[in-house]
Structure 1
Amino acid sequence: MATTFGVQGNPPPVPASAWSSGICDCCNDAGGCCLTFCCPCVTFGRIATIIDQGAISCCASGTLHVLLTAATGMGCLYSCCYRARMRAQYGIKEEPCADCFVHCFCGFCALCQEYRELKARGFDMSLGWQANMERMGKGSAAATAPPQMHMSR
C-alpha cells in the first residue's frame, strides 16, 4: 500500500513554482518600480506587512529597514529574510540565486519582484493585511473564529 507521506510521516514537500515575473521585469509595474526607487522603505514595509499577516505594521518594518540600512548598511540582510519567508509561504523557487545575494546585490530589483508577486497573488499593496483580507472575503481571524459555546439551564 503506497503512502502519500514522506520521511517519518511528514507530508511530501510542495514542488516549488517559479516567480510570476523575472527579477528584471521592473518595467511591468512602473508604479511599484518608482515607489521602490524613491522610497524602498515603503515598498519593504508593505511587503513585510503582508508576509507577517499584519503582525507588524508597514511603518514599523519600513522604519526598521531604514535604521538598519543607515546604521550598518546591511538592511539587505533583514529584507532577504522576508524574501525567504515569502518563498516558503508560496512555494516559490530560490532564483536567480540565493536570497541574500539577490537582496545584497540587486536590492531594488528584489523588492520590485516581491511587490509584483504579491500583487499577482491578488493583494492590493496599499491596503495592508487586514483590508486585503476583508476585500478577499476572508475577514479577520476573530471574525472567522468559531462562536463560543455557553452553558444554559
Structure 2
Amino acid sequence: MYPAPPPQAYHSYGVAAVPSPVPPANCQPMHPPPHGGLTRWSTGLFHCLDDPGNCVITCLCPCITFGQIADIVDRGSCSCVEGGMAYGLLCLTGLACLYSCFYRSKMRGQYDLEDGPVPDCLVHFCCETCALCQEYRELKSRGFDLGIGWNANMDRQKRGVMGNIVVGAPAIPGGMIR
C-alpha cells in the first residue's frame, strides 16, 4: 500500500475550497487548552442559600424555576409558561429529571461550563431542586433577569440597560443653547 498523503489545509477563494499544502498562518498546534477550556460554575450545587428566595420557590414549585431556565436556554423559542407546563406534566410521570437534565447539558454547552464529577442526569435524578437552583444562579450571575424572560433581557441589552444600571453616556440635548 502507498503511504497516506500529508494532511492539507483548505482555503476558500470565493468559489470552492481548494486544497493547499501550506497550513494557514493562524494554524495552532493541536494541544488541548488547560482544564479543557471549560469555565467553572459560579456557585456550587449545594449553595442554595446564596439565593434563598429562589430556593424556596424551587422547592415548592420547581416548574416555575425550570420554565425560567428553559426560556433563557432556548433563547425565547420556548416560553417560561410552556417550559414550566411541560415540566409539570412530566413531574406526574416521574420523567421531569430527564427533561431538566437535557437543559442542564444544553446550558453547559452554551456557556462552556465544566461537567461535575457525576453525569448531568444523575445530578438531576439525585438533587433535582439543587440542580435547578444552581442553573438559575448561573444564568443570574451571567446578567440575566430570569423573571422577565429572554426577549425582555435582549431588549434591555439592546438599550444598554443591565439590571437597574444604564450603560453608556447620558443623552445630550440637541444643539447649543445660550
Whether TM exceeds 0.5 here: the answer is yes
CA drift of 1:5 comes to: 7.4
**2:134 maps to amino acid:** Q
The answer to whether the aligner puts 1:60 opposite 2:82 as a matched pair is yes
Deviations 1:51-97 (A, max 9, x none): 00000111111111111110x21110000000000000000011142
Determine the C-alpha separation between the residues in 1 that align with 2:29 and 2:146. 36
Report the secondary structure of 1:18's partner residue: coil
1:34 is matched with: 56
The answer to whether the aligner puts 1:94 opposite 2:115 as a matched pair is yes
CA drift of 1:2 comes to: 6.6
Determine the C-alpha separation between the residues in 2 that align with 1:87 and 1:68. 22
2:131 is matched with: 110
Flag the structure with larger Rg. Answer: 2
Structure with the higher fraction of residues in helix conformation: 1
Determine the C-alpha separation between the residues in 2 that align with 1:111 and 1:73. 16
2:106 is matched with: 85
The structure-2 alpha-carbon separation of the partners of 1:136 and 1:38, relative to structure 1 and needing over 3 Å to count, comes to same
The number of residue pairs the alignment matches comes to: 135
Structure 1 stretches of 5 or more lacking a match? 7-11, 140-153
1:145 is matched with: none
Structure 2 stretches of 5 or more lacking a match? 1-24, 161-178
Written as runs of structure 1 = structure 2, the 5 A alignment for 1:1-153 is 3-4=27-28, 15-70=37-92, 72-137=93-158
Determine the C-alpha separation between the residues in 2 that align with 1:67 and 1:113. 22
Determine the C-alpha separation between the residues in 1 that align with 2:29 and 2:74. 28
**1:98 maps to amino acid:** P
Q: More deviation in 89-98 or 46-55?
A: 89-98
Report the secondary structure of 1:137's partner residue: helix
Determine the C-alpha separation between the residues in 1 that align with 2:49 and 2:28. 42
User: Could you tell me the TM-score, scaled by structure 1's length?
Assistant: 0.81
Determine the C-alpha separation between the residues in 1 that align with 2:151 and 2:29. 34
| % identical equivalent positions | 50
Query: What stretches of structure 1 move > 6 A for 4+ residues in a row?
Result: none
Q: Structure with the greater relative contact order (CA < 8 A, sep ≥ 6): 1 or 2? A: 1
Structure with the higher fraction of residues in strand conformation: 2
Determine the C-alpha separation between the residues in 1 that align with 2:63 and 2:29. 41
Determine the C-alpha separation between the residues in 1 that align with 2:142 and 2:109. 15
User: Could you tell me the TM-score, scaled by structure 2's length?
Assistant: 0.70
Determine the C-alpha separation between the residues in 2 that align with 1:50 and 1:2. 34
RMSD of equivalent CA atoms: 2.4
